[in-house]
Amino acid sequence: MERRLAAILAIDMIGYSRLMAADESGTLKRLKQHRSRLIDPRLAEYRGRIVKTTGDGLLGEFHSVVDAVRCAVMIQLSVAEAEADVPADQRILYRAGVNLGDVLFEDEDMFGDRVNVAARLEELAEPGGICVSRTVVEHVRGRVASRFEDLGPRNVKNIPEPVQVFRVLMAPEKKGSAPAPVPAVRRLIKPFAVTTLLAVVLSAAALVFWQPWRVVTETASVKDMAFPLPDKPSLVVLPFADLGGRSGQEYLADGITNDLITDLSKFRNLFVIAANSAFTYKGKPVKIQEVAEDFGVRYVLEGSVQAAGETVRINAQLIDAINGYHLWAERYVGDLDDLLALQNRVVDSVVAELAVKLETGEGQRTNNAHGLAAPSYMLFGRASTILPEYFADRSDLANARDLFQELVAREPEFSGGYAGLSRSYSLAVFRGYATTPDADRADALRYAERALELDPRDKLARLALAEANFLLGRHDEAVTILEQIMQSSPSSADAHGRLGLFLVLLGRPDEAAAHIKSAIRLNPYSGSPYLNYLGLAEFVAGRYGAAVSAFEENTAQGGPIDDAGLAVLAASYHALGRSAEENVTLTRLFDRYPGTHLRSFWLIRNFAHQKDRNAVMASFKRAGIPMDRPYTR
């Protein structure tokens, strides 16, 4: 036998014998339809597994108790909807029970008192209802749309201790909509007396005002937030979960997340956390209030993507973490072969709904679309994932360029492929990897301009154009492009970060530090290079203690640090008289980058003015880095 933790769902049909006696063939036919159309698809959607079935019920296993509860709710709501027009004495309804615990498995069957408790909970449920244990409530509260009513301890058959039973108050998992109050009103509105009609209208108005489907979750504390709450609506989009396990589908989920963040960042009255930081939560269990406190934001958007056959289902929900409400939710279904249409619907609808909820009166809507078939979309996701930042690895850069070249060949009208290709050439020049730097600069500019011809609004293309211009010595033009991006997309951490780096290289470290700090606020936990940029800015400004603090914080976050960063850190320690730490840092530098000397640093090569190059070279030399020859011990 194998023992493991599992969420158990028990479902049983009510009045099976009576309905079979009245209409055996009709009941069996409807029961099969329920299984094939309502129950089995829900189990698959929520990653459940049927362990055993009886004539009128089943026992299911889930790895996630959240999934088990959501699945039970959706089954009951789907069945209620399907049976709404059937006469009451002929309806097929079910009871359901959910429990969580340690379970024994043998030959694909499961045993144990936790399974028995699930069955007893099902027996206690009302027709069409669900009962769960206290353990379930403790694990799912605030993570599902439903609330729970404590029915107290109950003694149940063959279980020695009383079981604390909770009834599920089934707000739909399609959060943000009432449990179908409109049809109820419609059925009641008949040519009765005016007083009856008035009572119905007042009841409906009270329902709308109270909004019982707005489920309270655990709330975030403003005083416990890691950063001050912005003075405008603030939001983090968590990575959408890949529920399908389909090869390559992870990039679809990541792509949708990135597109939502990109489009939301265009709203001037929104503060949106950058993708790099949001993706630190990818694949991790989260508590909404903790996410909000970590990022210093009020709103959290989360969702999932699932492919079943050629169909893609996407769920999204918006949560006010401070008040603890699910503000809005929606489900989208589309054809995998027509990914463009689905992408348009999801991004445009979600952004529009968020704009209504968070920016009253803001008329801006987006029309974001890549226009890619699914295979090309996955290719773009892979290429973008490995495209390195300024602290680039030579092999990653080469791999990214190959993928972008393949994408351009496949999708010659897609701007993103050309923008990525442009960046791969710019980064090669920036890092000193290019064997023909003049030709690479020209290619970087050419591909960036082509990307903008195809889509003038493509932020990645405009970032690529800024980089190409900077490397061609058109510094003012590069700065202007980045400033324009920030005007149209104020939450663009990339634009703030690149402008900060460029201003450092232009000898304007104080301005640079302000922009880099904005990038860090928008992208605080990414392992991104922004803290390195800040350390560099503080170093160039002569604030050596602040430089050390920035690099040490970057190391604590697990962020990258390259040869130039180690050299700046060693020189900062030297300026502060911290010789022991200086020596440790130099050892790291020369061990990791053998052959290092002053003229090998990308940083020194890319300063716009000779005086800044000379100043940094002098600081490095004082720290013990040789001028023209590789270091030898």
pLDDT tens-digit map of 586-623: 988 888 888 788 877 888 888 999 999 999 999 999 98
- Asked if residue 46 and residue 110 are part of one domain, the reply reads yes
Distance CA 594, CA 587 (A): 10
Q: Supply the pLDDT for residue 368.
A: 35
Q: Supply the pLDDT for residue 577.
A: 93
Do 3 and 56 meet the contact criterion of CB atoms below 8 Å apart? no
Query: Is the confidence at residue 354, as pLDDT, over 70?
Result: no
How far is C-alpha 39 from the chain's CA centre? 29
Q: Which helix (H) or strand (E) holds 385?
A: helix 374-386
- Asked if residue 378 and residue 353 are part of one domain, the reply reads no
Query: Is the confidence at residue 483, as pLDDT, over 50?
Result: yes
Would 479 be classed as within a structural domain? yes
Would 42 be classed as within a structural domain? yes
Distance CA 161, CA 180 (A): 39
DSSP assignment of 46-99 equals TTEEEEEE-SSEEEEEES-HHHHHHHHHHHHHHHHHHTTTS-GGG---EEEEEE
Where is pLDDT greater, at 104 or 180?
Answer: 104
Q: How confident is the model at residue 631 (pLDDT cuts 50, 70, 90)?
A: very low
- Asked if residue 103 and residue 18 are part of one domain, the reply reads yes
Distance CA 181, CA 208 (A): 9
Q: Supply the pLDDT for residue 98.
A: 95
At a CB cut-off of 8 Å and minimum separation 6, what does 253 contact? 239, 240, 241, 242, 304, 305
Q: Supply the pLDDT for residue 552.
A: 87
Domain boundary among 431, 465, 489: 489
Q: Which domain holds residue 400?
A: 370-489
Query: Is the confidence at residue 114, as pLDDT, over 50?
Result: yes
Where is pLDDT greater, at 500 or 246?
Answer: 500
Q: Supply the pLDDT for residue 68.
A: 92
Q: How many domains does the chain divide into?
A: 5
Strand bridging mode 234-237 / 271-272: parallel
- Asked if residue 284 and residue 415 are part of one domain, the reply reads no
Where is pLDDT greater, at 311 or 503?
Answer: 503
Tokens at 307, concatenated: 């492919």
Q: Supply the pLDDT for residue 468.
A: 95
Specify burial of residue 553 (Cβ count, 10 A radius: 0-12, 13-18, 19+).
middle
Candidate from 63-72, 196-205, 249-258, 411-420 with smallest mean pLDDT: 196-205
| Mean pLDDT, residues 501-528 taken together | 87
3-state secondary structure of 388: coil
- Asked if residue 97 and residue 187 are part of one domain, the reply reads no
Tokens at 488, concatenated: 């149209």
Would 22 be classed as within a structural domain? yes
| Percent of the chain residues topping a pLDDT of 70 | 80
pLDDT, tens digit, 9 for 90 and up, residues 42-53: 898 888 888 888
Query: Is the confidence at residue 249, as pLDDT, over 50?
Result: yes
Do 292 and 151 meet the contact criterion of CB atoms below 8 Å apart? no
- Asked if residue 513 and residue 461 are part of one domain, the reply reads no
pTM higher than 0.75 = no
Q: Supply the pLDDT for residue 369.
A: 40
Query: Is the confidence at residue 104, as pLDDT, over 60?
Result: yes
3-state secondary structure of 11: strand
Q: Supply the pLDDT for residue 573.
A: 94
Average pLDDT, the chain: 79
Q: Which helix (H) or strand (E) holds 242?
A: strand 241-242
Distance CA 314, CA 254 (A): 12
Q: Supply the pLDDT for residue 494.
A: 86
Residue 301 phi/psi, 5-degree rounding, is -110, 130
Distance CA 571, CA 588 (A): 13
Q: Supply the pLDDT for residue 185.
A: 30
b/e sequence 364-373, b meaning 16+ C-beta within 10 Å: eebebebbbb
Query: Is the confidence at residue 377, as pLDDT, over 60?
Result: yes
Domain boundary among 489, 518, 540: 489
Distance CA 624, CA 586 (A): 8
Residues belonging to the chain:
633
What CATH number has the domain bearing residue 405?
1.25.40.10
Q: Supply the pLDDT for residue 132.
A: 94
Would 573 be classed as within a structural domain? yes
- Asked if residue 529 and residue 383 are part of one domain, the reply reads no
Taking Cα atoms as reference points, which of 461, 474, 404, 400 lies closest to residue 433? 400
Q: How far is CA 201 from CA 181, 191, 206, 466, in A?
A: 11, 14, 9, 59
Other Cβ atoms within 10 Å of 159 Cβ, number: 14
- Asked if residue 515 and residue 620 are part of one domain, the reply reads yes
At a CB cut-off of 8 Å and minimum separation 6, what does 542 contact? none
| Mean pLDDT, residues 127-138 taken together | 90
Q: Supply the pLDDT for residue 346.
A: 64
Distance CA 301, CA 240 (A): 9
- Asked if residue 483 and residue 499 are part of one domain, the reply reads no
Candidate from 64-73, 120-129, 202-211, 347-356 with smallest mean pLDDT: 202-211
What residues does 109 pair with on adjacent strands? 106
Where is pLDDT greater, at 439 or 374?
Answer: 439
Query: Is the confidence at residue 246, as pLDDT, over 60?
Result: no
What CATH number has the domain bearing residue 337?
3.40.50.10610
pLDDT, tens digit, 9 for 90 and up, residues 527-576: 568 888 999 999 999 999 999 999 988 887 777 788 888 999 999 999 99
- Asked if residue 255 and residue 322 are part of one domain, the reply reads yes
Do 215 and 145 meet the contact criterion of CB atoms below 8 Å apart? yes
What CATH number has the domain bearing residue 129?
3.30.70.1230
Q: How confident is the model at residue 508 (pLDDT cuts 50, 70, 90)?
A: very high
Distance CA 302, CA 256 (A): 11
3-state secondary structure of 561: coil
Q: Supply the pLDDT for residue 45.
A: 86
| Mean pLDDT, residues 431-460 taken together | 90
- Asked if residue 554 and residue 484 are part of one domain, the reply reads no
Would 216 be classed as within a structural domain? no
| Percent of the chain residues topping a pLDDT of 90 | 26
3-state secondary structure of 214: coil
Query: Is the confidence at residue 629, as pLDDT, over 80?
Result: no
Q: Supply the pLDDT for residue 214.
A: 42
Where is pLDDT greater, at 174 or 125?
Answer: 125
Strand bridging mode 234-237 / 147-154: unpaired
| Mean pLDDT, residues 239-246 taken together | 73
Distance CA 300, CA 236 (A): 5
Specify burial of residue 106 (Cβ count, 10 A radius: 0-12, 13-18, 19+).
exposed
Would 463 be classed as within a structural domain? yes
Q: Supply the pLDDT for residue 236.
A: 92
Distance CA 387, CA 17 (A): 63
Q: Supply the pLDDT for residue 186.
A: 30
- Asked if residue 437 and residue 335 are part of one domain, the reply reads no
Q: Supply the pLDDT for residue 215.
A: 45
pLDDT, tens digit, 9 for 90 and up, residues 204-229: 433 333 333 344 457 888 888 888 88
C-alpha torsion sign, points 246, 248, 250, 254:
negative
Would 365 be classed as within a structural domain? no
Q: How confident is the model at residue 425 (pLDDT cuts 50, 70, 90)?
A: very high
Query: Is the confidence at residue 97, as pLDDT, over 80?
Result: yes
At a CB cut-off of 8 Å and minimum separation 6, what does 281 contact? 238, 239, 291
pLDDT, tens digit, 9 for 90 and up, residues 168-210: 987 654 433 223 333 333 333 333 333 333 333 333 433 333 3
DSSP assignment of 109-154 equals EEESHHHHHHHHHHHHSPTT-EEEEHHHHHHHTTTSS-EEEEEEEE
Would 314 be classed as within a structural domain? yes
